[in-house]
Amino acid sequence: MKSLRVLQIVPSLSLVYGGPSQMVLGLSKSLAAQAIDVTILTTDANGDTGQTPLDVPLDRAVLQDGYQIRYFHCSPFRRYKFSSLLLNWLVDHAHEYDIAHIHALFSPVSSAAAAIARWKKLPYILRPLGTLDPADLQKKKQLKRLYAALIERPNLAGAAAVHFTSDQEAKISERFGTVTRDVVLPLGVEPPNIAEPIQKHQIRSQLGLPLDQPLVLFMSRIDPKKGLDLLLPALEQLLAEGVEFHFVLAGANPQDPNYENQIRAQVQASPLAHCTTMTGFVTGSAKAQLLQAADLFVLPSYYENFGIAVAEAMAVGVPVIVSDQVHIWQEIAQAEAGWICTCEVDFLVQQLRFALADPANRIERGIKAQTHALTHYSWQAIGQQMIQVYKSVLDRSQCPR
């Protein structure tokens, strides 16, 4: 039986742009492990505030974890992660593939790729990455409305399916008057590869963190949408009440260094300064260690179509506090894997107070969080389901392949 040939198209794989783009790698690895022929098309974009492009081989197959990646130089519009070279390659090679999975809307290279797929009669699935959330559409509202009317509306109408990562994302997302076939499949996580169990106090000793206080972890991009304007005053209020904890702020924002510096300065000038560790961006073993060391993970975002960092924390047994705008909050609530708050300081304070006051409850919810994550956010299971989606799309497609 001929292997299914799948194109994954994403504007960039750089860590600068956060986890949603990186998840294409996990999906591709899972698909490849199940005998799917996967090629990722992407650019060498690495931020639009002066960073140098990714140091990668260009316009040739790079083999990785059973699939291949083709990077193309951003040209002529580097800031917008656009590559005419990528699009030219797609025009020439679209007929070699069965289906395309296109990640990100309102990104010129993804938008153009969808138009080329229609022209070449290549069925495609769109993953919006939260860009159809009404809150996200408020940014550059007039420009996005025009872009949607001229470009994304036809792309949505022509898509074989739209891939949402939670029921709530699908429910609230704008379709600009089109009727779409929606597929809801979460993103996956890969738990840290731990050769043997390591005690929290061992990790904390290695990292220079207190051993005798609950460790509250924020690990995400330092961005206004992440709710730090709620979290910092909530933690300050708890300190004023005499609640003991140590706060770890892990993250950065090369795209908006001014906001990152503002948050850092705010912490340093506040009562939190003496009980906060700011690590900057972390990845690999440093990231795994912080997750294992944490007692509580907090992400009070104003909108979040999935929340990859939340799922990663759950996968290592850390209970979470999230806002009801993190779109997997209902699953977390049903699994009793953490606590849910609204985007209000007082409610966040209340949930933090509950969590920090009850170590036994934290441990119990952490166990439930891990069980839920490993059951529902396993890349193997998600890959299997995605293959069925691809096959269903092709069965329904009237395009001769």
The domain that contains 97 carries what CATH number?
3.40.50.2000
Question: pLDDT for 267-326, tens place per residue?
Answer: 999 999 999 999 999 988 888 899 999 999 999 999 998 989 999 999 999 999 999 999
pLDDT at 195: 47
Percent share of the chain, pLDDT over 70: 95
* Residue 370 near residue 317 (C-beta atoms within 8 A): yes
pLDDT at 265 over 50: yes
My answer on whether 236 and 363 are in the same domain is yes
pLDDT at 243 over 80: yes
In a domain, 231, yes or no: yes
pLDDT at 15: 84
pTM for the model stands at 0.89
Confidence of residue 399 (pLDDT cuts 50, 70, 90): low
Distances from the Cα of 290 to the Cαs of 35, 89, 143, 168, in angstroms?
34, 41, 40, 29
Spell out the alpha helix ranges (H) of 271-317: 284-293, 308-315
Run of H or E including 216: strand 215-219
In a domain, 246, yes or no: yes
d(CA 180, CA 166): 16
pLDDT at 300: 98
pLDDT at 87 over 50: yes
In a domain, 350, yes or no: yes
* Residue 314 near residue 369 (C-beta atoms within 8 A): yes
Residue type, 289: Q
Q: Which two tokens stand for residue 308?
A: 């990859």
d(CA 130, CA 127): 8
pLDDT at 194: 54
For residues 2 and 173, which has the higher predicted lDDT (pLDDT)? Answer: 173
Distances from the Cα of 384 to the Cαs of 24, 31, 154, 212, 304, in angstroms?
15, 7, 29, 43, 25
3-state DSSP helix/strand/coil % of the chain, to nearest 5: 45, 20, 35
pLDDT at 396: 84
Q: Which two tokens stand for residue 243?
A: 């609640």
pLDDT at 77: 66
pLDDT at 401: 45
pLDDT at 196 over 80: no
My answer on whether 146 and 47 are in the same domain is yes
* Residue 213 near residue 173 (C-beta atoms within 8 A): no
Average pLDDT (339-355) is 98
Phi, psi of 358 (to 5 degrees): -135, 85
My answer on whether 46 and 167 are in the same domain is yes
Residue 172 burial by Cβ neighbours in a 10 Å radius (0-12, 13-18, 19+): middle
Distances from the Cα of 37 to the Cαs of 1, 40, 49, 113, 131, in angstroms?
13, 10, 35, 19, 28
d(CA 159, CA 162): 7
Kindly report which listed range (27-31, 42-46, 252-256) carries the lowest average pLDDT score: 252-256
My answer on whether 9 and 94 are in the same domain is yes
My answer on whether 15 and 108 are in the same domain is yes
My answer on whether 230 and 336 are in the same domain is yes
d(CA 188, CA 190): 7
pLDDT at 148 over 90: no
Q: At what angle do helices 228-240 and 345-357 cross, to 10 degrees?
A: 60
d(CA 15, CA 282): 10
pLDDT at 51 over 80: no
In a domain, 194, yes or no: no
pLDDT at 207: 81
Q: Which two tokens stand for residue 46?
A: 């690495």
My answer on whether 388 and 370 are in the same domain is no
Average pLDDT (204-227) is 91
Kindly report which listed range (199-208, 219-228, 314-323, 353-362) carries the lowest average pLDDT score: 199-208
My answer on whether 298 and 278 are in the same domain is yes
pLDDT at 400 over 70: no
Q: Is the peptide bond preceding residue 76 cis, with omega within 30 degrees of 0?
A: yes
Domain with 83, as residue range(s), is 5-188+378-396
In a domain, 312, yes or no: yes
My answer on whether 230 and 324 are in the same domain is yes
My answer on whether 129 and 228 are in the same domain is no
For residues 158 and 18, which has the higher predicted lDDT (pLDDT)? Answer: 158
Percent share of the chain, pLDDT over 90: 74
Closest CA to 161 of 134, 188, 127: 127
CA triplet 139, 323, 363: central angle to 5 degrees?
A: 145
My answer on whether 13 and 74 are in the same domain is yes
Kindly report which listed range (64-68, 69-73, 203-207, 224-228) carries the lowest average pLDDT score: 203-207
Mean pLDDT, rounded, of the chain:
91
* Residue 95 near residue 71 (C-beta atoms within 8 A): no
What three-state secondary structure class fits 276?
Answer: strand
Q: How many domains does the chain have?
A: 2
Run of H or E including 164: strand 161-164
My answer on whether 14 and 120 are in the same domain is yes
In a domain, 401, yes or no: no
